[in-house]
């Protein structure tokens, strides 16, 4: 186990800088033995029950100190039945886990079209220069889950949702709720910028 204050989604690439002795040991064993490891989210001082199984893709750089930069990739979700602060005869933590069925399907294309339109609106309002997936038929909600304004707790809840259709619904409802608030904040920002300027306002015609 490699608890972190973040949520990793299945299929997500994750780059890590490894420096603690316990995780240096873990990565060495992943490299030598081909084992995987788990990243459960650490939220509000607690290791959460659901995490993501992760595979080591490559060791990109090794430092004389023993530290390293590695590339990893999320595989699928698991639930922790029992967490151990130290695995037997290891420096790192361990756990008894069960893999969770996670639907890797594409979901409903029409829902994807709506979600991507909402994300485009969000990025435009926030002046975010990030490319939105272009093909709704190949889009998975996990692809944008870090970029739609979820809190860490919401990202964790999103990871726990077992089907793509339910994740689509969760993401769509979140965007539909958040966009009006973002628009209002943008209007407030523009009004604040206008303070002190001469205003050409057309009065109502009674």
pLDDT value of residue 137:
86
| pLDDT > 80? residue 120 | yes
pLDDT value of residue 102:
72
pLDDT value of residue 131:
84
Q: Which residue ranges form the domains of the chain, and what is each CATH number? A: 13-99 (2.30.130.40), 109-194 (no CATH)
Under a CB-based contact definition with an 8 Å cutoff, are residues 2 and 92 in contact?
yes
Using a 10 angstrom Cβ sphere, with 0-12 exposed, 13-18 middle and 19 or more buried, the burial of residue 58 is: exposed
CB atoms within 10 A of CB 199: 7
pLDDT value of residue 179:
92
- pLDDT for 1-19, tens place per residue? 999 999 999 999 999 999 9
Summary mean pLDDT of the chain = 90
């Amino acid at each position: 186990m490699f608890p972190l204050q973040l949520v990793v989604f299945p299929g997500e690439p994750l780059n890590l800088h490894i420096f603690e002795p316990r995780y240096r040991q873990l990565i060495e064993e992943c490299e030598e033995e081909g084992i995987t490891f788990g990243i459960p989210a650490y939220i509000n001082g607690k290791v959460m029950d659901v995490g993501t199984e992760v595979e080591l893709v490559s060791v990109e750089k090794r430092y004389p100190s023993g530290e390293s930069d590695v590339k990893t990739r999320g595989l699928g979700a698991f639930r922790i039945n029992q967490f151990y602060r130290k695995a037997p005869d290891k420096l790192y933590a361990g756990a008894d886990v069960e893999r969770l069925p996670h639907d890797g399907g594409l979901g409903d294309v029409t829902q994807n079209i709506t979600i991507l339109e909402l994300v485009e609106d969000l990025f435009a309002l926030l002046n975010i220069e990030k490319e939105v997936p272009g093909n709704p038929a190949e889009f998975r909600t996990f692809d944008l889950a870090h970029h739609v304004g979820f809190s860490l707790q919401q990202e964790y809840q999103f990871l726990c949702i077992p089907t793509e259709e339910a994740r689509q619904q969760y993401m769509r409802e979140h965007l539909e709720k958040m966009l009006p608030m973002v628009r209002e904040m943008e209007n407030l920002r523009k009004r604040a910028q206008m303070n002190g300027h001469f205003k050409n306002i057309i009065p109502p015609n009674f």
